[in-house]
């Protein structure tokens, strides 16, 4: 039976090198979403049930369009960071790298499509 300290068990395993930055990115995006989600719900609720022309006129104003775009971008960035943590914890090897690349492309692509749709409505 080997009696090893926690430090001795961790020696040679290396560090992730981005743990603190990733933690703070998640915290900052969480706080941003804490502010943006209620704003989005209130602005989107005003437009809910309107005709296409009314929605077009509503989102052509800068306030609702900016709130919706910010909510999409920050939401998908937060989603990407959270899923990356899950993948790093439960998937290993080449599949881990492929899953992270796929999820990053998917989340940034969805955010881009959402911002493009809002820009089409706003302009």
pLDDT of residue 3: 76
pLDDT of residue 1: 53
pLDDT of residue 79: 97
Q: Tell me if 5 is assigned to some domain.
A: no
Q: Tell me if 13 is assigned to some domain.
A: no
CATH number at residue 47: 1.20.1300.10
> What is the average per-residue pLDDT within 55-59?
93
Q: Tell me if 4 is assigned to some domain.
A: no
Write out the two tokens for 113.
Answer: 């499509």
Q: Tell me if 6 is assigned to some domain.
A: no
pLDDT at residue 16 tops 70: no
- The total of other beta-carbon atoms located within 10 Å of residue 120's CB is 10
Q: Tell me if 9 is assigned to some domain.
A: no
Q: Tell me if 3 is assigned to some domain.
A: no
Q: Tell me if 100 is assigned to some domain.
A: yes
* CA–CA dist 67, 115 (Å, integer): 11
Are 70 and 89 in contact by the 8 Å Cβ rule? The answer is no
pLDDT in tens, 23-35: 899 999 999 999 9
For residue 58, what are the CA distances in angstroms to 47, 50, 55, 96, 101? 7, 10, 5, 43, 36
Q: Tell me if 45 is assigned to some domain.
A: yes
pLDDT of residue 115: 97
* CA–CA dist 74, 78 (Å, integer): 6
pLDDT of residue 86: 95
The total of structural domains in the chain comes to 1
Which domain, by its residues, includes 112? 18-122
State the pLDDT confidence band at 17, using cuts at 50, 70 and 90.
low
pLDDT of residue 18: 67
pTM for this model (two decimals): 0.83
State the pLDDT confidence band at 22, using cuts at 50, 70 and 90.
confident
């Amino acid at each position: 039976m080997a009696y090893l300290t926690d430090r001795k068990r961790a020696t040679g395993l290396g560090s992730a090198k981005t743990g603190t930055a990733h933690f703070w990115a998640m915290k900052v995006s969480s706080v941003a979403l804490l502010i943006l989600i209620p704003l989005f719900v209130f602005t989107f609720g005003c437009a809910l049930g309107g005709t296409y022309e009314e929605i077009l006129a509503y989102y052509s104003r800068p306030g609702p369009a900016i709130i919706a775009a910010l909510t999409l971008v920050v939401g998908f960035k937060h989603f990407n960071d959270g899923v990356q943590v899950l993948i790093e914890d439960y998937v290993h090897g080449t599949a881990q790298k492929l899953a992270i690349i796929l999820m990053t492309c998917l989340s940034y692509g969805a955010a881009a499509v959402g911002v493009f749709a809002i820009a089409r409505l706003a302009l």
